[in-house]
Chains A and B, each alone.
Chain A
Amino acid sequence: MLNWAGTWALFLKEVRRFNSVAVQTVFAPIVATLLYLLVFGQVIDSKTDVFSGLAYSQFLIPGLVMMAILQNAFSNSSSSLIQSKMHGNLTFVLLSPISPLEFYIAFTAAAIVRGIAVGLGILIVGAIAFDLTWQAPHWIIIFAVLSAAMMGGLGMLAGIVSDKYDHLAAFQNFIIMPLTFLSGVFYSIQALPEFWQKASHFNPFFYMVDGFRYGFFEKADVSIYLSLSVTLLFVIVVSAINLILLNKGVKIRE
């Protein structure tokens, strides 16, 4: 039986942690992403027609929202875990009757909250400033939550295996950042040469961005069900790896 009270307490702690530095964890990423929108949206809007009848800025907003969700969900669990390891306060949680599964649920749920909080901020500004449609909102919610869960889990994985901030930065700069930028946030993969179109299909982030964008326009590069399947598969794989490592106590209970 799950210790829901303990899980809830750990979840609240993680949410309060990023909320206590909200300027850095929520508002700064919103502003940074809106700058992308300002620069790319204004400059390229009149010159590009990504999907027929759709302005570039309209196309760009969902991509930027998803990019912010992915990056911030990852940052939340990874930085919280590595900070707790470095400061030693992870000990408090490890001494409590919280199970590996509960630990995973609490950290991932908090990562989802932060990812969606940042994404929502960008979406609100985007919806006010640009003409945005919401053709299938349920897909928007499903992809936002699943993608944030996947990235929260990936962040936890990075936090577990990293021994110092340097390791985490390498993970973030050499894996997360390139995969995010090459996932179709700024373009449709139809515009890419054939080789890069095929290569994009091996990037799991592409399916998250594409599925999320489908919720706005009901237009996407691949089938929504393929995107959903790939996203779900990655959520399951990342969760399973985390739970195996947490159960064994790898780099946590050594």
Chain B
Amino acid sequence: MSAVEFCNVRKHYADLQALKGVSFSVEEGSFFGLLGPNGAGKSTLINAMSGLVVPSSGSIKVMGKDVISDYRETRRSLGLVPQELIADPFFNIRELLKLQSGYFGLKGAKQNAWIDELLERLALTDKADSLTHQLSGGMKRRALIAMSLVHKPQVLVLDEPTAGVDVDLRRTLWEFTRELHKNGHTIILTTHYLEEAEALCDKVAIMQKGQIKALDKTSALLSKHAYRYLKVSVPQSYLQQQAPLPPALQNLLVEDEASALVFKVDKEVALGEILGQLHQAQVPVEDISSRDATLEEVFIDLTADSGEVQQGEGKC
């Protein structure tokens, strides 16, 4: 079953087309990455799914229910951690969690116990009686995550949760989201840290200019990429007095590391052919290793390419 289904979703603000007919679905139980450069439409799509934005046309279903006509059910199924760090000057963290629970009609000892658990799990117990503006950015982010989970939603959407947080907190948030995923939550994550998406997400969609540019399992997206990366280790002395490489090799060179040359090679080209060219150019090869593209490299290639949009499994 699909946890979320987008069907030809469009959103325009005056002349700006923020979403240009987005269609895809997120399977229940998946850890889904929504990637794209700034202004690609990721947040608009997420806000439309959460009811913060009304789409101009198209439909969105969360756990099989329409976000417009069945909004009560969909909002009970969905938790959103917004990108902006939201503050409330009147209430402390525990009060905010209780108020948020109240909007969902949840109260009593059981709910209070769940709030205590959330505070503890997100290391907020000491700050439970603090006002939001007294908290650091990282603490505010944790509070927002707790707010999104008070009603135990099946689908959790995190809009750039690790933006501007330190390494420790980023690791903590990774562990926490992994645990939620393991417990059966469907997680939708937008992030600019592509190593984060690569490490966490089983499936990713790459958005650009309000459209889906690519959508596949993370592993498939990486292996389907037309290039591999060849790291050729050479002595440092060679790099210091390096003679120009022949144009055929120079065109493939993407990185000039301290003691290695990195070439971006079409997967169709045999490794032997490259080795032959290196030998002809009298490059003193010490070691050689090959790897598939990282998600970041796939992302850069896809978003730099203005070619045809791939809608993936985007029929609805």
Instruction: Spell out A's residues near B (CB within 8 Å).
Output: 3, 5-6, 8-10, 12-13, 16-17, 20-21, 83, 87-89, 91-99, 248-249, 253-254
Contact = CB atoms under 8 A, between A and B. Distances in A.
Given A5-B107, A95-B75, 7 more contacts: A5-B105, A16-B91, A91-B86, A92-B100, A92-B103, A94-B51, A253-B54
Interface in B25-80: 50-54, 71-73, 75-76, 78-80
30 contacts: A3-B105, A6-B102, A6-B105, A8-B102, A9-B105, A10-B103, A12-B102, A13-B91, A13-B99, A21-B90, A83-B89, A87-B86, A88-B82, A88-B86, A89-B87, A89-B88, A91-B52, A91-B84, A92-B86, A92-B100, A95-B51, A95-B52, A95-B148, A96-B75, A97-B73, A97-B103, A98-B103, A99-B72, A253-B53, A254-B54
Nearest to A93: B103
A83 B103 CA distance: 19
B225 to A, nearest CB: 37
A96 B52 contact: no
Contacts of A10: 102-103
A8 B84 CA distance: 27
B104 interface: yes
B54 A249 contact: yes
Given A6-B105, A20-B90, A97-B75, A92 B147 contact: yes
Contacts of B295: none
A9 B102 contact: yes
Dominant secondary structure at the B interface: mixed
B96 interface: yes
B75 A87 contact: no
B102 A17 contact: no
A92 B147 CA distance: 8
7 A-B pairs with the lowest CB-CB distances in the bound complex, closest first: A9-B102, A96-B103, A5-B105, A97-B72, A88-B86, A89-B88, A97-B75
A253 B89 contact: no
Chief secondary structure at chain A's binding surface:
helix
B137 to A, nearest CB: 14
Interface in B79-128: 79-80, 82, 84, 86-91, 96, 99-105, 107
A253 B103 contact: no
A16 B96 contact: no
A16 B13 CA distance: 36
B104 A254 contact: no
Interface string B224-254: 0000000000000000000000000000000
B105 A87 contact: no
Nearest to A248: B54
B72 to A, nearest CB: 4
A5 B107 CA distance: 9
A2 B118 CA distance: 29
Contact of B87 (A5, A88, A249): A88
B99 A94 contact: no
Nearest to A4: B105
Contact of B86 (A16, A89, A96, A249): A89
Nearest to B105: A5
A96 B75 CA distance: 6
A39 B72 CA distance: 53
Contacts of B148: 95
A247 to B, nearest CB: 10
B234 to A, nearest CB: 53
B53 A9 contact: no
Contacts of B54: 248-249, 253-254
